[in-house]
Amino acid sequence: MKSAAVSARSRALYKTPFSRVYWAQAASEFKDLRMLLFAALMIALRVALKPVNIAIAADLRINVAFFVNAFGAMVFGPVVAIPAAAISDTLGYLLYPEGPYFFPFILTEIAGSVIFALFLYRAEVSSLRVTLSRFCICFFVNIVLNTPIMWLYYSMMMGRNYVLFDLLRIVKNLVMFPIESVLLTLFLRLVVPPMYKLGYVHTGADKLRFTRKNVVALALLIALGLAAVGGYYVNDYNTKSFSAAYSAGERLEKNRAMNEWVLAENLDLAAADTVTIIESARSRIGDPDMTYELAIYRIDGEAFAAKAAADGAYTLDTLHGYSKSKAAADDALIRIGSATAVTDKKTGEKKSIACVFE
């Protein structure tokens, strides 16, 4: 016999979350004391399980807390999921700190919880819905949303550049997505039936089984993810400037090498007062060449001497180690021309250089 709690509670399901009634139902969970107590329990479990991982292979691990995150979001919905994710993320950092605290990371926790809720809360839960929810988190949260946040973190907190296209991290997410989808489906098949009887969920586990349709969906989503990543990689490679990732030492070395090439082509320039700066270094997939756009500067002797006297660290190496923006901002450098140099991408051997002077 069903409990009184179940009969008193609406079993309404929604095909999609795009309705006012759905969101009104989700917001009403804040008025249910049982639901708030359940959310508190999920927060505690999520925090406690944060350091617990299942090892799949070298450098591939599943954080057990994601099972709790998915189940909690399925029960209390997207509205309660937002503060629950924020609280669990904050408590998790306080108990298990890893590096300096950076507030924007909370957005990935919230986004993951909300996506689980949008697919699983008050819905006829199926293995396909579980698969789609995990794919959206792996792709849109862990790859798309997390990338600019990581860039800000490295830039603001660590003073370092972050590789926007981190192929290893992306491949890990695409590899883990089907494994996590299968494990989450099995987990929900275990916990949904008893929680249905208690009135916490409103759908059975009949559709939480692996069918040919689900296998095909997994394969298509993996193919879609790989295609999107491949397209982004090709576009990123073809349009980015490789010089943006140079270390200080690399920039100094390459600028000096380009300066020597410019001097070799223009014998009337003096090595002592000529500085060449790499403004961009570009290539395309399949292209054997790397094309450098260069800015050629003349050193203003008086301005340089004044700055060097005021700052002992200000030397010729300072000028030769500049990036595009720093060179343009230094009034000790006067731009006198530009150049385009082409090298062999593998060997770095010079193929051609053309200079234009103002």
pTM: 0.64
From residue 345, alpha-carbon distances to 256, 288, 340 in Å are: 18, 6, 15
Instruction: Give the Cα separation of 115 and 70 in Å (integer).
Output: 9
Would you say residue 94 has pLDDT above 70? yes
From residue 222, alpha-carbon distances to 116, 172, 178, 193, 209 in Å are: 19, 12, 8, 30, 19
Please, which pLDDT band fits residue 6 given cuts at 50, 70 and 90? Answer: very low
Residue environment code for 289-326, b if the CB has 16+ CB neighbours within 10 A, otherwise e: ebbbbbbbbbbbeeebeebeeeeeebeeebbbbbbbee
Model confidence pLDDT, tens digit, residues 35-73: 999 999 999 999 999 888 876 655 567 788 999 999 999
pLDDT at 155: 80
**326-344: average pLDDT:** 94
Please, which pLDDT band fits residue 293 given cuts at 50, 70 and 90? Answer: very high
**238-246: average pLDDT:** 85
Please, which pLDDT band fits residue 166 given cuts at 50, 70 and 90? Answer: low
Name the nearest CA neighbour of 287 among 349, 344, 212: 344
Please, which pLDDT band fits residue 119 given cuts at 50, 70 and 90? Answer: very high
- Residue where the block lists tokens 């103002």: 358
> Taking a C-beta distance cutoff of 8 angstroms, is the pair 3, 198 a contact?
yes
pLDDT at 63: 83
Would you say residue 355 has pLDDT above 70? yes
If 0-12 CB within 10 Å is exposed, 13-18 middle and 19+ buried, where does residue 115 land? Answer: buried
Q: Which residues pair with 290 in a beta bridge?
A: 343
Model confidence pLDDT, tens digit, residues 188-238: 999 999 999 888 998 888 888 877 877 887 788 777 767 766 776 777 778
pLDDT at 4: 44
Instruction: Give the Cα separation of 234 and 286 in Å (integer).
Output: 10
End-to-end CA distance of the chain: 90
Instruction: Give the Cα separation of 139 and 79 in Å (integer).
Output: 22
Instruction: Give the Cα separation of 114 and 122 in Å (integer).
Output: 13
Instruction: Give the Cα separation of 23 and 17 in Å (integer).
Output: 7
Taken in order of first residue, the domains within the chain and their CATH numbers are: 4-239 (1.10.1760.20), 243-357 (no CATH)
Tokens, residue 122 = 């008050």
Other beta carbons less than 10 A from residue 284's beta carbon = 12
